[in-house]
């Protein structure tokens, strides 16, 4: 009797990292999480009777356009976790969180331009769905601060080079359109937004978002709002006192037990 073919898996993970000075003590732990994930994912998928075809990792770090200007956001390409681990480590090591005088990035101000970085992550060059493959598109965001509203830093250098949304409703529609249902938002999509969203490579049922962020009074409105969306898991942050293993466990669970049809 012919053995059934194992289902292949492809996993893309985008690390979106607050690179301001207050995150210094967590940065090494985030890097070690990124380094450990590929092996943990491969082993978990194997135990589930699947075959890991490819894991890719991308890194986006962000601060504040008011203090950083055109250097606020750095975005890498996707890197193969099996063949480009040195490049991945170098990408994390190249993230500058302080200036030469020791002052932290971000100008010691809260909040930061996290929504803009998250928007770029959602519009990454993800692996698209294949009939013979279980695809996962994971966005993991790490911050200890609340986010600025879209366009709040529009007048500062570097902001206009990106085609950022005018309102968080646009991000909600981009994420929510894949799961159906009424979103009941306050704004209507423009033709420009619809055209832009049509180019997005997020795949229905395959996208997951994990927010490692403060909630409640420390978060402002945005993190609590985003945490209520479909396929979003949030782990509350107390600055300098996080357990990133929880986020890793959630990624593993999503990849090995949630099918695309759910």
pLDDT tens-place string over residues 201-237: 988 678 899 998 888 765 667 898 898 888 888 888 7
Let me know if 55 is exposed, middle or buried by CB neighbors in 10 A (0-12, 13-18, 19+): buried
CA distance 132 to 250: 24
CA quadruple 77, 74, 145, 154: dihedral positive or negative?
A: negative
Cβ(126)–Cβ(12) below 8 Å: yes
Q: Which domains does the chain have, with CATH numbers?
A: 7-257 (3.40.50.410)
Per DSSP, the three-state class of 221 is helix
Residue 117 clears pLDDT 60, i.e. is over it: yes
pLDDT at position 67? 87
Q: Which residue has the tokens 């493959």?
A: 133
159-192 pLDDT tens trace:
999 989 999 988 998 887 655 556 677 788 888 8
Higher pLDDT, 77 or 6: 77
Q: Which two tokens stand for residue 220?
A: 């402002």
How many Å is the Cα radius of gyration of the chain? 18
Report CA-CA distances (Å) from 164 to 118, 121, 238: 11, 12, 29
């Amino acid at each position: 009797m012919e053995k059934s073919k194992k289902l292949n898996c492809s996993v893309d993970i985008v690390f979106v990292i607050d690179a301001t000075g207050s995150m210094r003590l967590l940065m090494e732990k985030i890097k070690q999480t990124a380094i450990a994930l590929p092996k943990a994912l491969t082993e978990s998928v194997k135990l589930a009777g699947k075959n890991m075809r490819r894991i890719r990792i991308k890194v986006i770090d962000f601060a504040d356009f008011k203090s950083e200007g055109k250097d606020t956001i750095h975005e890498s390409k996707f890197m193969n976790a099996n063949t480009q681990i040195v490049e991945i480590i170098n990408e994390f090591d190249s993230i500058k969180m302080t200036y030469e005088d020791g002052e932290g990035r971000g100008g010691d101000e809260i909040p930061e331009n996290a929504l803009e970085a998250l928007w770029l992550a959602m519009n990454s060059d993800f692996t698209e769905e294949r009939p013979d493959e279980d695809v996962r598109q994971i966005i993991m965001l790490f911050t200890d601060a609340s986010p600025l509203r879209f366009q709040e830093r529009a007048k500062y250098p570097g902001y206009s080079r990106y085609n950022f949304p005018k309102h968080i409703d646009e991000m909600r529609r981009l994420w929510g359109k894949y799961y159906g249902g009424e979103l009941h938002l306050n704004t209507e999509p423009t033709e420009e937004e619809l055209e832009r969203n049509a180019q997005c490579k997020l795949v229905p049922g395959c996208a997951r978002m994990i927010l490692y962020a403060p909630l409640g009074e420390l978060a402002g409105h945005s993190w609590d709002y985003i945490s209520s969306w479909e396929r979003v898991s949030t782990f509350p942050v107390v600055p300098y006192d996080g357990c990133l293993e929880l986020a890793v466990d959630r990624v593993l669970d999503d990849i090995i037990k949630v099918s695309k049809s759910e």
